[in-house]
A = this chain, B = another copy of it.
Amino acid sequence: MPTLAHDIKQTVPFAGPEVEAYLNLQRTADQLHRQTVELLKPHGLSSTGYNALRILRGAGPAGLPCSDVGARLVAHDPDITRLADRLAEAGLLVRDRKPGDRRVVILRISQLGLELLARLDPLTVELARRQLSHLGGAGLESLIRLLEQARHPPIASPTSPSPEKP
């Protein structure tokens, strides 16, 4: 008779509203993300690739170093090299060495990449609307505010253990 399991069993449903919110967040994000992946798949693009191309479009013809692209991605990808490999092979971006600093590689979106984004943007915008418009204007604003707030905890980076806890 494992009292361990028995004790825990009691607390299973939800260990407080924070855990419930966390699980809802992951579940919802995953569900919506999968729909985006499905939308992008027939165009031969991953969601990471799509995000990278949008970042590069935002950077304009000046392009952006690999590291900057990696830092701005929603899911920080430490391996931009291979991501850029695939996008370059598909002709969606171009790679150049930075004139002043030969360490950095500048990524620029190509005309083909711009055209692909121009085709994809209406689709992803429409998808987001189908997914979320029923929350209403006030609901969306509230959700946005709460999510931003969640990403910015008041103190002490949550990854590092609290320095004292006697």
Contact = CB atoms under 8 A, between A and B. Distances in A.
A62 interface: no
Nearest to A113: B5
A90 interface: no
A150 B135 contact: yes
> For chain A, what secondary structure do more than half of its interface residues adopt (helix, strand, loop), or is it mixed?
helix
A129 B18 CA distance: 6
A142 to B, nearest CB: 6
Chain B CB within 10 A, most for which of A33, A131, A141: A131
A146 B151 contact: no
B2 A111 contact: yes
Nearest to A122: B15
